[in-house]
Amino acid sequence: MKVLWFLLPLILWSEENITESFISDYEYGEMLYNSPRGVSCAECHGTSGKGKTIIKYQDIHGEEEIKGSDIRKKSLSEMINAVNSYHKIMPRYYLSDDEVKTMYEYLQKKNEVYLNSSK
Ligand code: HEC
């Protein structure tokens, strides 16, 4: 029994570490990017921020399409501005700067190879 008491702090310490790493910043960023308050960035900017066709339609000029832009090279401040302002298509979000930063870092990490190769 004495031995167990001795081990207790160690057990508590390791459990704390497990819960801390349960969700990483990367995963949190991914979660935010994919469902910020209901309207996912991924729906318009693609899962990696590369951009995506939102809708295609026909009009008198022929086939038209509305696209979500490539945001992989946007800076953190451009991202904060974009999220906090009104656009024609993109909704305005109510996300904290920290939340945008987490999404920004997630995209940076996810596109590491692309961003390094096109510097
Ligand atoms: C309904 C589609 C849609 C959604 C959802 C959306 N966007 Fe956009 N976004 C656009 C379009 C389209 C543009 C191009 C500018 C415009 O006309 O609105 C854009 C522009 C941007 C830009 C570039 C602004 C600039 O400086 O040129 C950034 C950064 C961006 N979006 C980030 C995001 C993030 C982050 C999210 C999620 C929190 C998001 N967008 C959700 C459609 C969308």
pLDDT tens-digit readout, 59-102? 999 999 999 999 999 999 999 999 999 999 999 998 999 999 99
Q: Residues 49, 70: contact at Cβ < 8 Å?
A: yes
Domain boundaries, the chain: 20-117
For residues 70 and 46, what is the distance between their CA atoms, to the nearest angstrom? 9
Is the beta carbon of 32 within 6 A of some atom in ligand 1? no
Which of 19, 43, 31, 42 is CA-nearest to residue 99? 31
Ligand 1 atom with the smallest distance to the CA of 54 is: 2
Global pTM? 0.80
As a whole number of angstroms, the distance between CA 86 and CA 74 comes to 17
Identify the residue whose tokens are 């991202």: 79
**Cα–Cα distance for residue pair 71/93, rounded to 1 Å:** 16
pLDDT in tens, 21-30: 567 889 989 9
Q: Domain 20-117 belongs to what topology?
A: Cytochrome Bc1 Complex; Chain D, domain 2 (1.10.760)
Q: How far apart are the first and last CA of the chain?
A: 61
